[in-house]
Amino acid sequence: MTPKKTPSLAEHHRLHLEPRWRKAPFVLRITQWVGAPVPVLVIKERRSSADGAAESQDSAQADAMAAKGRLAERGHLLGDALRRCLPILRGIVSGVQDESGIPLEIQRYLTQEGLRLRLNLPLDEESGAKLALIFRLQERVTDLDRVELMARRIERFTREEAAYWLSRMVSFSPDARRWAVAGMRLMLGGQARDPGVERMLERLKG
């Protein structure tokens, strides 16, 4: 019997992910920016133009309304921070499933082969919120131990915790959002040059 051939990533994306990312609650984009290290990961959240779409009795209508939602950027990741967090990101997105509970294998795209592609990946609410938190909190943090520590602690959040803390960073007034980001950085990643960062990171990795 001829063994079943595993589809290429491009073919897998065309068959299983392309039909889904346009209505997924979060979208992870693998892209590149002029003057920036390649690749760049960008996380976007779908903000529905009609809040009542989810309450519609017509599933086709709800899907169409959701697909029209505006994608709002929630953060990006690149360079050394991306390389440091990549194993954690793979673990987070590995839980994304289709409507039948079958894994979508998003983690295959966060590999050396997958990161050469330029495409959009559908994420569910839990994985999307966790990546958005990691991407937002690591901005302007140069200590990679702190970046990894924050990522590992966010990975352990429940879906509800991730959604709550993300809402604190993207809603309310600019001052409230700024305070939420600063507070979460301190709570999850400590302070620069704090020896406790390394100790806590080692415990989590062990």
* Domain edges within the chain: 9-205
Rounded Cα distance between 45 and 132, Å, is: 8
Contact 147, 201 (CB under 8 A): no
pLDDT for residue 65: 45
Rounded Cα distance between 65 and 146, Å, is: 40
Residues 106-132 have a mean pLDDT of 98
pLDDT for residue 168: 95
pLDDT in tens, 15-28: 999 999 999 999 99
pLDDT in tens, 47-96: 976 544 443 344 444 444 445 579 999 999 999 999 999 999 999 999 99
Label residue 169 exposed, middle or buried (CB < 10 Å: 0-12, 13-18, 19+): buried
Of 16-30, 41-55, 162-176, 184-198, the one with minimum mean pLDDT is 41-55
DSSP bridge partners of 122: 27
Residues 119-144 have a mean pLDDT of 98
- Which tokens belong to 113? 């082969």
Q: What's the whole-model pTM score?
A: 0.89
Report H helices in the chain. Answer: 9-12, 18-21, 59-67, 79-93, 125-138, 144-155, 159-170, 174-189, 195-205
Would you call the peptide bond into 103 cis, given omega within 30 degrees of 0 as the criterion? no
Contact 146, 189 (CB under 8 A): yes
pLDDT for residue 6: 74
Would you call the peptide bond into 25 cis, given omega within 30 degrees of 0 as the criterion? no
